[in-house]
A and B are shown apart, each in its own frame.
Chain A
Amino acid sequence: MDFLKSMGIAASGLRAQAGRMRVLSENIANADSTASTAGGDPYRRKIPTFSSEIDRALDARIMKMGKIGLDQSNFRSKYDPSHPAADANGNVKFPNVNSLVEMSDLKEAQRSYEANLNIVSATRRMIQRTLDILRA
């Protein structure tokens, strides 16, 4: 049934946005994680990607989390010779995570999630209203 199909598609969007939230929370939580060895690389920011694919069981195009990319931009560097992860020159590399960017991405994920939730509740309301015809 088309109603159940659209609900399934919206559910796939919910799942993908939940996965995006997981990646973003990983980025935010690791915003200050430095390397465990001296002079090593710290946490590298992860980028969630999405792809559209056909679900055979549902016979519709759904959304899925794609591969998680790694942000190749430069790490932040700070002079702190007493830090255990400092290199020979006393510089410590910090992750290339910008909390502001992550926060705005988080808001976007939240909004997309809400949009998909609205689809689910609107579909349910439509089914309910249609069945109400029989009850009248």
Chain B
Amino acid sequence: MASPSIAANAYANLARIVDPGSLTKTTEAGGQSFASMLKDTIGSVVEAGRKSDSQTIAAAAGKANVIDVVTAVAETEVAVGTLVSVRDRVIQSYEEIMRMPI
């Protein structure tokens, strides 16, 4: 006879999710952290891009090592790939929410 308690728990969880106070609070906190996360990530991506650019230019001038160029470009690739994947995912979720029938 566990089903009533399970149902009660489910209702309690639902109530917590639907509770307007907690909902706005989480979205605010989430919005804040997402914005700052995006800012940080873009900053690091730009930084990595600059590094790989300078390495490539130095290599073209015959000053830098090919190995340094490859590692710098790979680092940029990882940073850009992560940023793009996360952005695509977030936009996809947003579009799904916008398609929700009201």
Contacts of B65 in A (CB 8 A): 15, 18
Give residues 8-23 of A contacting B (CB, 8 Å).
8, 11, 14-15, 18
Interface centre among A11, A15, A128 (most CB of B within 10 A): A11
- A117-133, CB under 8 A of B: which get 1 and which 0? 00010001001100100
The answer to the question of A7 belonging to the interface, with a C-beta cut-off of 8 Å to chain B, is yes
Within A78-136, the residues touching B (CB, 8 Å) are: 120, 124, 127-128, 131, 134-135
Check: B68 CB closer than 8 A to any chain A CB.
yes
Contact B67–A134 (Cβ < 8 Å): no
Binds A, one of B21-29, B30-38, B81-89: B81-89
B2-10, B12-20, B70-78, B94-102 - interface stretch: B70-78
* Interface size in chain B (residues, C-beta < 8 A): 15
Chain B residues contacting A7 (CB-CB under 8 Å) are 71, 74-75
Q: How far is the CA of A127 from the CA of B89 in the complex (A)?
A: 17
Q: Out of B67, B74, B78, which one reaches A18, CB within 8 Å?
A: B67
Give bound CA distance, A4 to B81, whole Å. 14
Interface contact A11-B88, CB-CB below 8 Å = no
List the B residue with the shortest CB-CB distance to A128. B81
CA distance A105 to B81 in the complex (A): 39
Complex: A1 Cα to B89 Cα, angstroms: 22
**Residue of A whose beta carbon sits closest to that of B68:** A11
Q: Which residue of the partner chain, among B67, B74, B77, B89, contacts A14 with CB atoms under 8 Å?
A: B67
- How far apart sit A7 and B67, CA to CA, in the bound complex (Å)? 11
Smallest CB separation, A12 vs chain B (Å): 9
Q: Contacts A11-B67, A11-B68, A18-B67 hold; do A134 and B88 have CB atoms under 8 A apart?
A: yes
**Complex Cα spacing A117 to B24, Å:** 50
Residues in A neighbouring B68, C-beta threshold 8 A: 11
A11-B67, A18-B65 in contact; A134/B89 too (CB < 8 A)?
Answer: yes
Which chain B positions have C-beta within 8 A of A14?
67
Instruction: Please give, as numbers and ranges, the residues of chain A lying within 8 Å of B70 by CB-CB distance.
Output: 11, 120
Complex A-B, nearest 5 residue pairs according to Cβ-Cβ distance, in ascending order: A134-B85, A11-B71, A14-B67, A131-B85, A131-B81
